């Protein structure tokens, strides 16, 4: 028997790799002789580096870079098992968790550290870079990222602008003469799971600014600054990307990557599944167990478990989703290739208690699932 476990992380509780290990233990408690292939999955956000490095037997690396507030942070990135592909999470360098709640201010936060991680990958000789852009603390349109790679953002006196989204309102000219030429040789694949444009009522500032500390007045200020930035970026690059789906992701980093590099934006889970060769892994499986921290109506719109199911269904492989909790619309995933969805919780319990016991509950839930499968499939 061959079983694939391909979970996302249970955010705030158990990493994707730890979930996969717990699921494997649960499977082996019932099917002791089964071959269990562990493929931790991510959707381009938190856990993407760890999942891809683990699944491809790659290497983790760390660099000290500039954090969102301009202070040094230690950021982890990875090299995949092919030895030619880097994977970066912008949140590791420019993410919201790096900024204490009382210091959140998207007027001044920067993506400079994300650009430094990209430069580190180029310095390592890597010319294929996967970038996950979820979880940002920033609203600078990717200007900080581009600055770290050699671009200059100048006011009408030729002085470099300060870091952050608010300073873009004073932008008069973008100088790309020093932009790292190695970017022209690089393939940049951006994991992006939102379709927001750069500006407007669905733009970066309006939709994501408040969670980063923006008041309604600041949202208006930041949106105007990004619109001004987009005009100058279009003039400097000849590219018009502000209305492209995903341009508003990560405070406009999606737009910045498309303006200043050859980046392509794709749904995150698809990038991850392609990178680990999931189709080849799953095609001979008897069944798949996937899962995430919470399954609800949003999962059906392309989150990791549904991405896993769509590939598995190409080969007629059953897929079971084992999640931390089930919310409204959880059963919507049944129309997206998942055969059954269930919670790891075996009794009434608080969210805090569930998160603290996450690994043990996942292991026990996987064993319960396998007992049901065994009872239903006499050939097992």
pLDDT digits (tens, 9 = 90+) for 31-44: 999 999 999 988 77
Q: In this prediction, what percent of the chain has a pLDDT beyond 90?
A: 82
Query: What's the pLDDT band for 135 if we cut at 50, 70, 90?
Result: confident
Of the chain, the percentage scoring pLDDT greater than 70 comes to 99
Residue in 142, 141, 170, 146 with CA at minimum distance from that of residue 158: 170
Q: Note the pLDDT of residue 301.
A: 80
- In the chain, CATH 3.40.50.10350 covers 2-41+277-376
Euclidean distance between CA atoms 320 and 369, whole angstroms: 8
Which one, of 43, 330, 60, lies nearest residue 194 by Cα?
43
For the 48-268 domain, the top CATH level (class) is alpha beta
pLDDT at 378 over 80: no
The CATH number of domain 2-41+277-376, selected from 3.40.190.290, 3.30.2350.10, 3.30.70.260, 3.40.50.10350: 3.40.50.10350
Question: Is a pLDDT exceeding 70 seen at residue 112?
Answer: yes
Buried residues in 213-231 as b, exposed as e (16+ CB within 10 A) = bbeeebbebbbebbbbbbe
| Mean pLDDT of the 140-166 span | 97
- The larger pLDDT score, comparing residue 192 to residue 69, is at 69
- The per-residue pLDDT of the chain, averaged, comes to 94
Q: Tell me the pTM.
A: 0.85
CB 68 within 8 A of CB 95: yes
**Are 82 and 38 in contact, with CB atoms under 8 Å apart?**
no
- The whole-angstrom distance between residue 218's C-alpha and the CA centroid of its chain comes to 26
Which pLDDT belongs to residue 250?
A: 94
Mean pLDDT of the region 127-132:
96
Tell me: the pLDDT tens digits for 242-255? Answer: 999 999 999 999 99
Q: Give the pLDDT score at 380.
A: 64
Order of strands across the sheet with 35-38?
35-38, 2-5, 287-290, 319-323, 340-343
> What is the location of CATH 3.90.1510.10 in the chain?
48-268
- In this structure, the number of other CB atoms found within 10 A of the CB of residue 37 comes to 18
pLDDT score, position 319: 98
Measured CA angle at 100 (ends 7, 95), to 5 deg: 45
């Amino acid at each position: 028997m061959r079983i694939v476990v391909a979970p996302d992380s249970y955010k705030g509780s158990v990493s994707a790799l730890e979930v996969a290990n717990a699921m494997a233990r649960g499977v082996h408690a019932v099917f002791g002789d089964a071959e269990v292939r562990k493929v931790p999955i991510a959707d381009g956000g938190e856990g993407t580096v760890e999942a891809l490095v683990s699944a491809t037997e790659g290497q983790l690396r760390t660099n000290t870079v500039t954090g969102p507030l301009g202070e040094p942070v230690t950021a982890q990135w990875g090299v995949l098992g092919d030895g030619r592909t880097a994977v970066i999470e912008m949140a590791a360098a420019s993410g919201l968790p790096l900024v204490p709640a009382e210091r959140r201010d998207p007027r001044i936060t920067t993506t400079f550290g994300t650009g430094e991680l990209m430069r580190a990958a180029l310095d390592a000789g890597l010319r294929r870079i996967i970038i996950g852009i979820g979880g940002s603390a920033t609203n600078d349109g990717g200007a900080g990222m581009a600055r770290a790679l050699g671009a200059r953002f100048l006011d009408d006196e030729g002085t470099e602008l300060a870091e952050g989204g608010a300073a873009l309102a004073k932008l008069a000219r973008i100088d790309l003469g020093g932009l790292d030429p190695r970017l022209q040789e690089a393939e940049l694949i951006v994991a992006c799971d939102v379709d927001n444009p750069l500006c407007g009522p669905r733009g970066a500032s309006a939709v994501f600014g408040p969670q980063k500390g923006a008041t309604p007045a600041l949202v208006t200020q930041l949106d105007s600054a990004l619109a001004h930035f987009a005009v100058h970026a279009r003039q400097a690059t000849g590219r018009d990307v502000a209305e492209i789906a995903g341009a508003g992701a990560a405070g406009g980093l999606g737009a910045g990557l498309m303006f200043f590099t050859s980046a392509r934006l794709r749904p995150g889970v698809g990038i991850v599944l392609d990178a680990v060769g999931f189709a080849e892994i799953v095609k001979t499986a008897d069944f798949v167990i996937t899962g995430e921290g919470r399954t609800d109506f949003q999962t059906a719109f392309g989150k990791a478990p549904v991405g896993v199911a769509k590939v598995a269904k190409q080969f007629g492989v059953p897929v079971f989703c084992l999640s931390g909790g089930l919310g409204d619309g959880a059963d919507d995933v049944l129309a997206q290739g998942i055969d059954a969805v269930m919670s790891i919780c075996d009794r009434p319990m608080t969210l805090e208690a569930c998160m603290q016991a996450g690994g043990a509950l996942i292991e026990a839930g996987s064993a319960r699932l396998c007992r049901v499968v065994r009872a239903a499939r006499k050939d097992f």
